[in-house]
Chain A
Amino acid sequence: MPITDAMVSEATRTLFSRALRKVPEDTKAALARALETETNETARRTLGLQLESANLAEKLDCFVCSDSGVPTYFVKIGSRADLACDFKAAIRAGYETLVETIDPPLLKHVTNPLTLERSHLGKDIPLVTYDVESGADYVEMVCSPKALGSGRWAALELFTFPSLEQIETFILDVAIKAGAQHCPPVVMGVGIGGSFDHCAGMAKKQTLRPVGEANPDPTLADMEARLFRAVNGLGFGPMGTGGDTTVQAVHVDYACGHGFTPVAVCFNCWINRRTRVRMWGDGRMEWGE
């Protein structure tokens, strides 16, 4: 029995709806840890309020934020998955059904960049990235509704044979420019190398890594720990009103490329919307974050 259009459409709807109502457990744990070490009184109050908001939204089954963002999905297709579906059509259909049926309704955030007209639908919406997974017998879908507050502070710059020092200076300067604006404490994703498009994709995917999951590459793990201390040392704090907690985590990935080296940085706001499902041909759907 294969993975069907109906399963992909259901995943599209349910992942988006859940992401709007449920702050991931790893983020709640990161906020609780920060609360223990934060020295700024206003910051401690804000962290406490963030946890309260997360718990209330879960209890009341309501949205954490009014900006439901643009629908963004990442699909990983296992090379051994049994498929009988048209991913693009099924995702589009699932999202259209979601717009018509979700309770409470979504605000119109999808924007035509040429006319500034706002809607729920539009060209290339939902935004979907496809990838393959060697040997897997499942399809994995991740949903990350992307809002304006944190989305607008992402940055990418191209260097030529940069030193590690130049790369890290750029990363810290992007954090300084974003400052108080992206609803901190954020998850910061960094991509280094590859090509322009590959680098941006790496940075984005790093924001989707669970907070607290160690980087298997010791060089990157060390870089993540040092950047985490440095960005938190800037002092912007929760919601930017000062404090020791500006990032929940800094996640870094790299790819080899030519001597022109892109470096990309992007952010997920404190609610860190992220939902995940794995689907198998026997109809199983395993939901996660």
Chain B
Amino acid sequence: MITEHDLTLPLTEAAVRAPRAGDVVYLTGEVFATAGLPTHDRLLGCLDGAESPPFNMAGGALFHLGSLNEDGDDGLPRIVYMNPTTSTRFDAHMPRLIPGLGLRATGGKGGLGADSVRAMAACGCVYLSFLGGGAPILTAAVRRVTGVGWPEMISHYRIVRLEVDRLGPLTVGIDAQGNSLYQQASDTARERRGALLDGLRA
């Protein structure tokens, strides 16, 4: 049985401790999105004091979403399309960024590794799985762009702050109790490997 949760940003620790891996979440409010590896390097630099981050993300959600953001005819930035990127590309960054930025939610596609799972359980943070190839559905939930951080970078490397209305459905891939659907799937595959190979030879 899948439970659905409607959550509003900014997120409290209690709000993100409630959903369990496999539940479905819809998000309303402001979220942050970027798909840039250099952006994640730069955010780590912010934690080391190299510069200030463009936004205070405490209690917020930083998602691994690539977007084409550009100035509209009215001069205001808009999102033309957005879609998740592979989160494991940021496995080396997220264990420090989750506590360092005070994130309550992160996400993208493909999950994160064991160090991030531990950081999420310790701090109270969930990983939300977005549909890869879900650009039409995900883009439709964007109401407006409320800020663009590091605009000198190429479009999908910038950090965009978006106001979203029921962004989702997003699957809780890793909950704040240390349960990861990705780890479970990987463990299952390794357990089944021997029997599946026997089956191939039958």
Contacts and interface: CB of A to CB of B under 8 A. Distances in A.
Contacts of B109: 149, 183, 239-240
A160 to B, nearest CB: 21
Nearest to A43: B171
Nearest to A40: B22
Given A42-B171, A180-B186, A240-B129, 20 more contacts: A23-B133, A53-B137, A65-B133, A66-B66, A66-B83, A105-B80, A108-B154, A148-B85, A149-B110, A172-B193, A172-B196, A172-B200, A176-B189, A181-B110, A229-B199, A230-B200, A239-B109, A239-B132, A242-B188, A269-B133
Contact of A104 (B81, B110, B185): B81
B181 A242 contact: yes
Nearest to B24: A45
A267 interface: no
A234 interface: yes
Interface string B81-122: 111011010000000000000000000011100000000000
A270 B133 contact: yes
A107 B85 CA distance: 13
Q: How large is the interface on A (under 10, 10 to 19, 20 to 34, 35 or more residues)?
A: 35 or more
A103 to B, nearest CB: 9
Interface stretch (A54-62, A70-78, A193-201, A202-210): A54-62
Nearest to B86: A149
A168 B189 contact: no
A165 B202 CA distance: 11
A118 B67 CA distance: 15
A118 B131 contact: no
B137 A49 contact: yes
Contacts of B137: 49, 52-53, 56
A49 B26 CA distance: 14
Q: How large is the interface on B (under 10, 10 to 19, 20 to 34, 35 or more residues)?
A: 35 or more
A107 to B, nearest CB: 5
Contacts of B185: 179-180, 235-237, 240-242
Nearest to B187: A235
Interface of A: 23, 41-42, 45-46, 49-50, 52-54, 56-57, 60, 62-67, 104-105, 107-108, 118, 148-149, 152, 165, 168-169, 172, 176, 179-181, 183, 226-227, 229-230, 233-237, 239-242, 269-271
Contacts of B111: 180, 240
A249 B137 CA distance: 26
Contacts of B88: 181
B173 interface: yes
A176 B193 contact: yes
Nearest to A119: B154
A149 B85 contact: yes
Given A66-B67, A179-B185, A169 B110 contact: no
11 contacts: A57-B135, A66-B156, A172-B200, A179-B186, A239-B132, A240-B110, A241-B22, A241-B171, A269-B132, A270-B133, A271-B133
